[in-house]
Amino acid sequence: MSFDKLREKYMSNVLESSEPKTNVLDQLPSYNSYETDLLISTLNVEYEEQCMLNKLLSEENTSENVEKIEKFIDENKEKIDTQVESLEEITKSLKDVCKKNKALELDKEEYQQIINSEEYRVIGEKMKKLKTLKTDILHFLDKAGLGVQP
């Protein structure tokens, strides 16, 4: 028996249960075709900017680059503080309303029928995958110090 088949045989239940299942209602509020297309465009721009940065960092003119960085920090540090505060506030509010929405979703039989429908479950999984891919690339870029905004 191959390794993949063994893993599938013994790990399928473990893998399935470790990640909560999603449904179309979970994904519906956050899916936005325009925003997804915009993120793809933004990532393409970020890629081009990173190529330009790569070229710049490969050059020998470091003292001029340091001056540009210092000027950027002086010009933007207060704005960044304000943005952090705003993001902290909206994060708390968003978490609160999501908890309320989940409770409401579970309270109605009509919503349960949608949640349990195979067709809607499949599209919900695809929408979740889109969201995960977007989050993963943004997280990767953030860890690389690039903090790209969609």
For the chain, give every domain's residue range: 111-150
Are 127 and 27 spatial neighbours (Cβ–Cβ below 8 Å)?
Answer: yes
Query: How remote is the C-alpha of 42 from its chain's centroid?
Result: 13
Q: What is the rounded average pLDDT of the residues 52-66?
A: 81
Share of the chain above pLDDT 90, in %: 15
Torsion of CA 102, 26, 134, 147, to 10 degrees: -20
Is the model's pLDDT at 123 over the cut of 80?
A: yes
Residue with structure tokens 């960085």? 69
